[in-house]
Structure 1
Amino acid sequence: MRIAIEGCMHGDLDKVYQTLKRIESQNGTKIDLLLCCGDFQAVRNERDMQSLNVPLKYREMKSFWKYYSGREIAPVPTIFIGGNHEASNYLWELYYGGYVAPNIYFLGFGGVIKFGNIRIGGLSGIYNARSYRTGHHERAPYNESTIRSVYHVREYDVLKLMQVEEPIDIFLSHDWPVGITDCGNWKQLARYKPHFEKEIQEKTLGSGPLTKFLALDKCLPRRKFFTGY
């Protein structure tokens, strides 16, 4: 099985699928699955854009609406999780996961599915300590506070994933797990993002709950982990 990984889609489905077609043509092969690690931006209409926590100048329809309306069909089965730039009102309708458009599947706020012989899990959103132990209280239309907290990871969703007994082959997250910078050149990262250095040294950069989840035996067999950041 050949799987393509997209960090953040940002609503540019047309461009991503065109790129995959070009890769298939150049390599004479077929891509079986596309995974997106958040910021998918499933914006159906202008009202959905009001739920996007982005500056007004970045609120664009892009191309998802074509796939939602049926004008276009995703040429590759697509599975995605939510990030921190989403049409949160629409994704909330599919809290437990489901198809947002033909051939495009949302894993939900925390979920696991099987594609072929591969088990794929994912956790949507980003970690925020203030919201972690609260309930999912946000409702559209969102205000300046809830438009952010709606995509914060909740303890309930992490604990739900911890109940999965069978091994997970691939896990998707928009967040970094704490300590991921130990696996790369964190000094170079700090040069690009100076405000990260203190968090790296204090081991607070990223999601602590995600780190604990990934340490469980169910995630160890193949260690395929993809993040949107």
Structure 2
Amino acid sequence: MKIAVEGCMHGDLDNVYRTLQHYEKLHSTKIDLLLCCGDFQAVRNEKDLESLNVPRKYRDMKTFWKYYSGEEVAPFPTIFIGGNHEASNYLWELYYGGWAAPNIYFLGFAGVVKFGNIRIGGLSGIYNRHNYCRGHYERPPYNESTIRSIYHVREYDVHKLMQVEEPIDIFLSHDWPVGITDCGDWKKLVRDKPFFEKEVQERNLGSKPAAQLLEKLKPPYWFSAHLHCKFAALVQHEEDGSVTNFLALDKCQPGRKFLQECTS
């Protein structure tokens, strides 16, 4: 099975799908599944734009609406998690996961699905310690505060994933697990992104709950996005000697490293 992984989609489905179809022709291969690590921006209509936490000048319909309306059909089965730039009113309707459009599945705020013989888990949103222990109290229409807090990870959702007993093959998070930079070339990372250096040195870059899930679930593969750069790491789990291959990917823009192929 060939799986493509994408970083931040930012609603640019047309370009991502075209890029993958070009890759298929170039390499005479077939992609079986696309995974997206958040900021998917499943915007159906102008009303959804009001729930998208981006500056008003950047509120753009992009191309998801064509797949929602049926004008286009996703050429590959697509599974995505939420990030911090989403049509939160729509994703809240799919809190437990569900079909956001034909052939496009939202994994929910926290969920696990099986695709073929692959078990895929995911945690939507980003970590914010002030809201972590709170419930999901936000309801549309969102105000200036709740349009941000709606996508903050909650302890309740992490706790559900911590109960998973069967092995997870691939895990998706928008945030990076905190401490993951210790397991990769962090010096190159801060050369490319010098404003990360303070957080790396203080071990504040990333999500503590994601790190807890990484330690508990120990998936062979973990993919993230959010920080708009490519970063690889290899995590050795001392308890059982297993290894997690971690990869963060960039956003969908020309010249950016936003796609990766893996084979199962």
Shorter-chain TM-score bucket reads over 0.9
Return 5+ residue gaps in structure 2 as ranges: 227-264
1:226 aligns with 2:223: yes
1:113 aligns with 2:110: no
Q: Name whichever structure is richer in strand by fraction.
A: 2
CA distance in 1, matches of 2:195, 2:146: 25
Over residues 4-34 of structure 1, what are the superposed CA-to-partner deviations in whole Å (9 max), with x where a residue is unaligned? 0100111011111111111111111110000
Which residue matches 1:198? 198
Over residues 75-100 of structure 1, what are the superposed CA-to-partner deviations in whole Å (9 max), with x where a residue is unaligned? 10000000000000000000000000
Query: Which region of structure 1 is more displaced relative to structure 2, 187-196 or 135-144?
Result: 187-196
Q: What TM-score comes out, normalization by structure 1 length? A: 0.96
CA distance in 2, matches of 1:199, 1:27: 40
Could you tell me how far 1:200 is from its partner in structure 2? 1.3
Which residue matches 1:6? 6
Which residue matches 1:39? 39
Over residues 99-141 of structure 1, what are the superposed CA-to-partner deviations in whole Å (9 max), with x where a residue is unaligned? 0000000000000000000000000000000010000001111
Structure 1 counterpart of 2:5, one-letter code: I
Q: CA RMSD in A?
A: 1.1
Structure 2 counterpart of 1:85, one-letter code: H
Q: What TM-score comes out, normalization by structure 2 length? A: 0.83
Q: How does 1:117-156 map to 2 (within 5 A)?
A: 117-156=117-156
Q: How does 1:73-222 map to 2 (within 5 A)?
A: 73-216=73-216, 218-220=217-219
CA distance in 1, matches of 2:73, 2:130: 40
The count of residues paired between Structure 1 and Structure 2 equals 226
Q: Percent identical across equivalent pairs?
A: 75
CA distance in 1, matches of 2:179, 2:197: 13
